[in-house]
Amino acid sequence: MRPKDRVFKKIVILTGAGISAESGIPTFRDPGGLWEKYRLEDVATPEGFRRQPEMVHAFYNQRRRDLLKVKPNPAHYALARLEREYPGQVLVVTQNVDDLHERAGTKNILHMHGELLKVRCEECGHVFREEGDVSVKTPCPKCGRPGGLRPHVVWFGELPFHLPEIEMALKQADLFVAIGTSGTVYPAAGFVVIARRSGAYCVELNLEPSAVAEYFHEHRYGPASKIVPLFVEELLKNAKDF
């Protein structure tokens, strides 16, 4: 059943690095991006952090500074509009650690891979917002101990956040949309299978076919800043005409 034939009650939207690419945050694959200068095993694993905490802090300090310089793009704004105006529920599940969805106005959002602008104390578990630099010497604002702070992001080998909640939302969704994600990082890459098996209509919006493209009913390829606003416009119009 195509989107134009119905109004959806529960929409789950999975977003990945591709939705923020046009804002100037490089994806894993973008040439010249930060990810080309660093090895994933060094900066995105608990082992890498134990080996070289200062270097890992420097990497995330740089990413935080870069994030504060960029702005949401029309794709982020379109999803915020969908949440505000659509008659059904809209939940954004993002793999992105940036805060561009929130800055565009999205409220109902789960960050499954954590948030770049948050830091966690491994000594006392305190999670807090941090826009500035962090080092191995920075004390925790709650327990006062230095040396325990780490980025509040999910590294390879760690369990993503909010999984039970996400799984329940996928099983109840009647529309699942994946935007700007390569379909190579699990468990997010498997969400389409859960949603489809539970009866959701599944749409992929990406620059190119993802690794799991075959599981979607419908595909639209192009830059997110163009195809996401068009798709949202269509959903809102269909809901109005229904």
Residues tagged in the binding site annotation? 16-35, 60, 63, 95-98, 121, 124, 140, 143, 180-182, 206-208, 224
Q: Does 230 bind ligand NAD (CB under 6 A)?
A: no
Q: Does 184 bind ligand NAD (CB under 6 A)?
A: yes
Site for ligand NAD in 199-218 (CB under 6 A): 206-208, 210
Phi–psi pair at 132, nearest 5 degrees: -95, -170
Q: Which of 111, 113, 126, 219 is catalytic?
A: 113
Q: Does 229 bind ligand NAD (CB under 6 A)?
A: no
Q: Which residues pair with 50 in a beta bridge?
A: none
Binding residues for Zn(2+): 121, 124, 140, 143
Render the chain in DSSP notation, one character per residue: --GGG---SEEEEEE-THHHHTTT---SS-TTSHHHHS-HHHHSSHHHHHH-HHHHHHHHHHHHHHHHH----HHHHHHHHHHHH-SSEEEEEE---S-HHHHHT--SEEETTEEEEEEEETTT--EEE--S---TTPBPTTT--BS-EEEEEPPTTSPPTTHHHHHHHHHH-SEEEEES--S-STTGGGHHHHHHHTT-EEEEEESS--TTGGG-SEEEES-HHHHHHHHHHHHHHHHHH-
CB of 105 to ligand NAD, least distance (A): 18
Site for ligand NAD in 99-158 (CB under 6 A): 113
The candidate with the shortest Cα–Cα distance to 195, out of 208, 180, 212, 220, is 212
CB of 115 to ligand NAD, least distance (A): 9
Binding residues for NAD(+): 16-35, 95-98, 180-182, 206-208, 224
Q: Does 182 bind ligand NAD (CB under 6 A)?
A: yes
CB of 175 to ligand NAD, least distance (A): 19
Residues in the interface with ligand NAD (CB under 6 A) total 26
**Judged by CB, which is closer to ligand NAD: 16, or 140?**
16
Site for ligand NAD in 35-94 (CB under 6 A): none
How far is Cα of residue 126 from the mean position of the Cα atoms in its chain?
A: 22
Q: Does 224 bind ligand NAD (CB under 6 A)?
A: yes
The candidate with the shortest Cα–Cα distance to 156, out of 62, 13, 35, is 35
Q: Is 111 a catalytic residue?
A: no
Among 81, 104, 181, 212, contact with ligand NAD (rule: CB under 6 A): 181
**Judged by CB, which is closer to ligand NAD: 40, or 124?**
40
- Which residues are identified as catalytic? 113
Q: Rule CB under 6 A: which residues touch ligand NAD?
A: 16-18, 20-22, 25, 27-29, 95-98, 113, 180-182, 184-185, 206-208, 210, 223-224
